[in-house]
Chain A
Amino acid sequence: MTSIYDANGKNVPCTVIEAGPCVVTQVKSKDSDGYDSLQLAFEDRKEKHTNKALKGHFNKVGITPKKVISEFTRFEPGQVRAFGDVLRVDIFVEGEYIDVVGISKGKGFQGVVKRHHFRGVGESTHGQHDRLRAPGSVGASSWPSRVFPGLRMAGRMGGQRVKVINLQIMKIILEKNLVLVKGAVPGANGSYVIIERWK
């Protein structure tokens, strides 16, 4: 993340996303595959790290092997992309709102206060000690004699697919295929995200 100054001179926190060039490597249609979708590939991968199956897949389009392949099922009406088309950031407009999907940073095994926003015990006096961030009761006793499924407890946190909606595009840099999005997006620096748009 970084920050830029907008037209009013306000300092806006921004995330820089390299969006493209993405190549259409496969077009699935209702007739051949049972559903409509586009397969996009992004970022070069070394040839020696690519297996034969993938090499053949990319050879069909006539491009170098790519790192990330992702399938997109929802399209904007009237926009037909053909096999081998290249998508760049010029499909976005400055000022419009997008959604960003990514894998959030892994937080490891976390307690209930961090993981589920429990408030903890609250006081360290009045007979309490060593249990400031404890979860409290997990249920009644002889009935039901078990803990209900889905009860919020400590455990692994983060590393999940997260979508952040309504992020504004502050700036588009065409020559470098960069998009500057207002605010934070899920994931560590340098990780991959999916940009969605609803119109």
Chain B
Amino acid sequence: MNPAETIKYIEDTLIEKKEYPAFKAGDTITVHYKIKEGNKERIQNFQGVVLQRSGKGVNETFTVRKISGNVGVERIFPFSSPFIEKIDINKKGVVRRARIFYLRNLRGKKARIREERL
């Protein structure tokens, strides 16, 4: 096998594929994330705006940003992570670019994102 085929084989067989509803930058989502504390497992929710989707295949990740106590918090999740229980989409936002890093410099009313009309 050549190197590219081998890597593809590994990624196809060893990494579990997961299906989530489609979302893109600008959407507001809730990530239900499993957290292990000792032997106990509980689920934490992380709700915020998607800044970007990055990478492809099993290495794809997405960045979620929320404002927590006046401090911006960003978290990067891999799509293939076994800790993600599920992803809910709360709002579909309308933005013009695929990566909305400009949101980091905006606060309050300016940081609003127009909602998609159905």
Contact = CB atoms under 8 A, between A and B. Distances in A.
Interface stretch (A3-11, A48-56, A101-109, A159-167): A3-11
A63 to B, nearest CB: 20
17 contacts: A2-B10, A2-B11, A2-B58, A3-B59, A5-B80, A9-B82, A11-B78, A11-B81, A14-B10, A16-B7, A16-B10, A18-B6, A178-B9, A180-B10, A180-B14, A189-B3, A190-B2
Interface string A135-178: 00000000000000000000000000000000000010100101
Interface of B: 1-3, 6-7, 9-11, 13-15, 58-59, 78, 80-83
For the complex, would chain B's binding face be called helix, strand, loop or mixed by DSSP majority? helix
A47 B80 CA distance: 44
Given A5-B15, A190-B2, A176 B59 contact: no
A11 B78 CA distance: 10
A5 B16 CA distance: 9
A9 B10 contact: no
Interface string A6-33: 0001010010101000000000000000
A130 B31 CA distance: 52
A176 B80 CA distance: 24
B80 A190 contact: no
B59 A18 contact: no
A154 to B, nearest CB: 32
Nearest to B2: A190
Contacts of A190: 2-3
Given A11-B78, A178-B10, 7 more contacts: A2-B58, A9-B83, A11-B81, A16-B7, A176-B1, A180-B10, A180-B14
A2 B13 CA distance: 13
